Amino acid sequence: MPGPLIVIDGPAGAGKSTVARTVAEAIGAALLDTGAIYRGLAYLARERGVDWDDEPGLAAIAATLRIEFQPAAEPGAPQRVLISSDEPGAETLDVTSSIRTPDISDGASRVSRHQAVRAALLDIQRAIAATSVESGHGCVAEGRDMGTVVFPDARHKFFLTASAAARAGRRHKELVARGQAPSRTQVEVEMARRDQRDSSRATAPLQQAKDAALIDSSELDVAAVVSRILAAVDPA
Ligand code: C5P
């Protein structure tokens, strides 16, 4: 029997990554972190000297991009992200932490605006989810356009949001824990810029799917959000 496909969309800092990872662990499903794909592309483009505004150049890299998610090095840590490309001689790079810098966050948001890039990455996302769903384990896919564009037919759709202050506070804490030290104001400004870009772009803007359940996590902890999702997916 196919496993469930659960999709979670929402803005940066709403808690999507942690919630999606916890839901996936709870039901033994794979985790599809689509932000990591855009981040991986931004990283590879930078390595190859391709500008984040060069749509054809980026689409060419996206067309040969290979991405693999592997279990985390330790429990509770983010899963490992490996990227390479179909091109002969391409090496595999472990970009787990190098794609989480503020610079690559900005790059991911810039490369993701381009229609040709989004189109080139559709198949990768659908293929990863299909493998996990068909195996019976299921997949939890998180991003910005899971419910609207990539998996419009998914049965379980959630839109996770929180107030701008709560989101900036969480992201700041996360960056500090990783040894980076931007100021809280810097995080707020960068996040607002990214939100604005993600919500206003012409292709696949950040948007709640009509049939997605809205969860506001401003006043909820991760456990509370996760239990709402699990209860909706498998009402006992
Ligand atoms: O979720 P995360 O912060 O890792 O995503 C990085 C950037 O990738 C987002 O700001 C957004 O611009 C882009 N993205 C997207 N569509 C997705 C996932 C991420 O446009 N499905």
CATH number of domain containing 103: 3.40.50.300
Check: CB of residue 159 under 8 Å from CB of residue 211.
Answer: no
3 belongs to a structural domain: no
Q: Which two tokens mark 140?
A: 């939890």
Mean pLDDT of the chain: 93
The whole-number pLDDT of residue 178 equals 81
pLDDT grade, residue 181 (50/70/90)? confident
Better-scored residue on pLDDT, 192 or 140:
140
Domain extent at residue 190 = 8-228
1 belongs to a structural domain: no
Q: Is 113 in the pocket of ligand 1 (CB under 6 A)?
A: no
Q: Is 143 in the pocket of ligand 1 (CB under 6 A)?
A: yes
Q: Is 85 in the pocket of ligand 1 (CB under 6 A)?
A: no
> ipTM, 2 decimals?
0.99
- Of all protein residues, the one whose alpha carbon is nearest to atom 13 of ligand 1 is 109
87 belongs to a structural domain: yes
User: Residue 236 pLDDT more than 70?
Assistant: no
Torsion sign, CA atoms 15, 17, 22, 24: positive
Q: Is 144 in the pocket of ligand 1 (CB under 6 A)?
A: yes
pLDDT tens string 18-62: 999 999 999 999 999 999 999 999 999 999 999 999 999 999 999
233 belongs to a structural domain: no
- Of all protein residues, the one whose alpha carbon is nearest to atom 11 of ligand 1 is 109
Q: Classify each residue of 154-184 as buried b or exposed e, where b means 16 or more C-beta atoms within 10 Å of its C-beta.
A: bebbbbbbbeeebbbbbbbeebeeeeeeeee
Query: For the residues 142-164, what does the mean pLDDT come to?
Result: 96
Percentage of the chain modeled with pLDDT above 70? 99
Which atom of ligand 1 is found nearest the CA of 113? 20
The whole-number pLDDT of residue 141 equals 98
pLDDT tens string 84-98: 988 888 899 999 999
Number of domains in the chain: 1
Report the 10 Å Cβ neighbour count for 25: 15
Check: CB of residue 209 under 8 Å from CB of residue 157.
Answer: yes
User: Residue 76 pLDDT more than 80?
Assistant: no
143 belongs to a structural domain: yes
76 belongs to a structural domain: yes
Rg (CA), the chain: 17
Q: pTM of the entire structure?
A: 0.93
Q: Is 31 in the pocket of ligand 1 (CB under 6 A)?
A: no
235 belongs to a structural domain: no
Q: Can you tell me the distance from the alpha carbon of 32 to that of 71, in angstroms, rounded to the nearest whole number?
A: 12
Gap from CA of 228 to ligand 1 centroid (Å): 24
Annotated binding site for ATP: 10-18
